[in-house]
Amino acid sequence: MSYKASFRVWRGDASGGGLQDFTVEVNEGEVVLDIIHRLQATQCSDLAVRWNCKAGKCGSCSAEINGRPRLLCMTRMSVFAEDEVVTVTPMRTFPVIRDLVTDVSFNYTKAREIPAFTPPPGLKPGEYRMKQADVERSQEFRKCIECYLCQNTCHVIRDHEENKEHFAGPRYLMRIAELEMHPLDVADRRPAAQAEHGLGYCNITKCCTEVCPENIHITDNALIPMKERVADRRYDPVVWLGSKIFRR
Ligand code: SF4
Ligand code: F3S
Ligand code: FES
């Protein structure tokens, strides 16, 4: 069964733009990305959209649909009423390149700021041993497809451009937490998490978790445990005394 849907798509570039209206055919079982491709094929051949896998795994097709951050390829048209106007806009937190494509290099910069996995000196590949519980904890975080929907949603940077320099965002605070909880990572990630990567800016609103297409419990399983570890370090009197002595 097909019907005609009303679509509003943001078109423009870094210098500005606006919403453009379309009436477009929708067939049973289609997702929003199918409709964007139909617009490219039939009405608007230069409409820019980033996509790759069409299976919810590459993290490329992130945008906002009726104001909600989502993957275009994983949003079924059946979630909208047939007479509902479907509005598709680029992610708001990152600069627009063209139409639905944004410049997400902020995230690459933040990724590079996190020191790599640091195993104990002398431990050779093949000698790594971990408990299954520790493997499972990391595996949840490693489901991340780097769609940056969580980064786009977090109000700390969505509404405050000035915070971008000092805040890694939920995806990369989660990476720091993953390494901090890793039994074979010997680096102390706690001071930098707070001082350099802006863990303290997170006030656990959980909006990042709500939009994660991989259903990773970013706030409960990464950010809150990381905050607890930072607090333990600060308020444990032995740790506090140790840090004073060794700073001299
Ligand atoms: Fe996307 Fe989830 Fe990874 Fe954030 S944590 S980048 S929302 S997959
Ligand atoms: Fe932002 Fe997620 Fe914290 S939305 S404030 S990083 S819980
Ligand atoms: Fe790969 Fe949508 S195209 S996640």
Q: What is the pLDDT of residues 34-57, one digit of tens each?
A: 999 999 999 999 999 999 999 999
Structure tokens at 195: 């001082």
Question: What per-residue confidence (pLDDT) applies to 219?
Answer: 98
pLDDT in tens, 157-173: 999 999 999 999 999 99
User: Which helix or strand (DSSP H or E) is residue 156 part of?
Assistant: helix 155-158
**What are 2's strand-pairing partners?**
27
- Which residues lie with the beta carbon below 6 Å from any ligand 2 atom? 153-154, 156, 170, 202-208, 219, 223
Task: Mean pLDDT check: name the lowest of 151-165, 187-201, 219-233, 234-248.
Answer: 234-248
How far is residue 31's CA from residue 35's CA, in Å, rounded to a whole number?
7
pLDDT for 3 beyond 60 = yes
pLDDT for 175 beyond 70 = yes
* CA 197 to centroid of chain Cα atoms: 15
The predicted model gives 29-33 an average pLDDT of 98
Inter-residue contact 65 to 72 (CB < 8 Å): yes
Percent of the chain topping pLDDT 70: 94
C-alpha 209 to ligand 1 mean position (Å): 8
How far is residue 190's CA from residue 188's CA, in Å, rounded to a whole number?
6
Question: What per-residue confidence (pLDDT) applies to 209?
Answer: 98
Which SS3 state, helix, strand or coil, does residue 5 take? strand
Atom of ligand 1 nearest to the CA of 148: 6
Confidence of residue 248 (pLDDT cuts 50, 70, 90): very low
pLDDT in tens, 112-158: 999 999 999 999 888 989 999 999 999 999 999 999 999 999 999 99
pLDDT for 194 beyond 90 = yes
- Which residues lie with the beta carbon below 6 Å from any ligand 3 atom? 51-54, 56-61, 71, 73
ipTM of the complex: 0.99
**What are 47's strand-pairing partners?**
none
The predicted model gives 60-85 an average pLDDT of 98
Atom 7 (ligand 1) nearest CA: 212
C-alpha 31 to ligand 2 mean position (Å): 28
Confidence of residue 242 (pLDDT cuts 50, 70, 90): low
Which SS3 state, helix, strand or coil, does residue 119 take? coil
Q: Ligand 1 test: best mutation among 138, 212, 220, 221, most atoms within 8 Å of CB?
A: 212
Question: What per-residue confidence (pLDDT) applies to 233?
Answer: 73
Single out the residue of 173, 39, 159, 156 nearest to residue 99, CA to CA.
39
**Mean pLDDT, the chain, as a whole number?**
94
- Which residues lie with the beta carbon below 6 Å from any ligand 1 atom? 144-150, 171, 211-214, 216, 218
How far is residue 227's CA from residue 177's CA, in Å, rounded to a whole number?
9
The predicted model gives 87-109 an average pLDDT of 98
User: Which helix or strand (DSSP H or E) is residue 97 part of?
Assistant: strand 96-98
C-alpha 147 to ligand 3 mean position (Å): 8
Structure tokens at 237: 């009197």
**What are 102's strand-pairing partners?**
96
Atom of ligand 1 nearest to the CA of 218: 5
How far is residue 208's CA from residue 223's CA, in Å, rounded to a whole number?
11
The predicted model gives 21-29 an average pLDDT of 98
Vertex 105: Cα angle to 100 and 107 (nearest 5): 105
C-alpha 140 to ligand 1 mean position (Å): 11
DSSP result, 54-90: SSS-S---EEEETTEEEEGGG-BGGGS-TTSEEEEE-
* CA 180 to centroid of chain Cα atoms: 19
Structure tokens at 121: 């000196």
Atom of ligand 1 nearest to the CA of 62: 1
Atom of ligand 2 nearest to the CA of 169: 6
